Amino acid sequence: MLGGAVVAFRQGKESSKVEIIEAERQEEKIHELVVDVSGAVERPGVYKLETSARVNDVLVAAGGLSQTADRVWVARYLNLAQAVPDGAKIYIPRQNEEISNAQFSISKNSGEVSGVTIGPNQSGLVNINTASASELDELWGIGEKRAADIIANRPYQTSEELVSKAGIPKNVYERIKDKIAVF
């Protein structure tokens, strides 16, 4: 393709000739993603957003946080700049709502993001940003000291940061990486 044109080479019995054919302009399709937002937001619901949407964009679409939202939890554990894939579920807790082992996890199949959950953990994964010392201690290779190191170095943006920030040995991380989540 040259400058919006397609160059076609046609060869017949006579000499070869070059024919320039104008390419039809195709409107780029606007790709959308669909996100489910619930909990302490002004307008819970399902929203269609551009594929480049971030968690902050989703919250704006939902009218922002409600007066009952746990803003400390949001500030501490929610990365507003995190890209949101199609099919995400975002749950914002209310003040004084007990949330144990909340999570933001992205599961990947064949390199594609297949699901995201932000809010209370329904999957049984241990969120290294919110888990108690006893929950962390239940993981293979994590004892009292390593659990304390994990807690002391919060928050984590990725689970891989356990190795660099909390000093968790690589072999321990490899054994527990499918049992943990971050957001």
Question: Residue ranges of the domains in the chain?
Answer: 27-124, 126-183
The two domains 27-124 and 126-183 share their CATH topology (first three levels equal): no
CATH placement of domain 27-124: 3.10.20
The string of pLDDT tens digits covering residues 2-50 is 444 444 445 555 555 665 655 554 444 457 889 889 889 999 999 999 9
CA angle 113, 180, 73 (to 5 degrees): 90
Q: Specify whether the backbone of 19 is left (phi greater than 0), alpha (psi in -120 to 50) or beta.
A: beta
DSSP symbols for 17-52: EEEEEEPPP-PPPPPEEEEEEEESBSS-EEEEEETT
pLDDT in tens, 159-170: 899 999 999 999
Q: Report CA torsion sign: 141, 73, 77, 59.
A: positive
Please check whether the domain covering 126-183 is classified as CATH 1.10.150.320. Answer: yes
pTM, two decimal places: 0.49
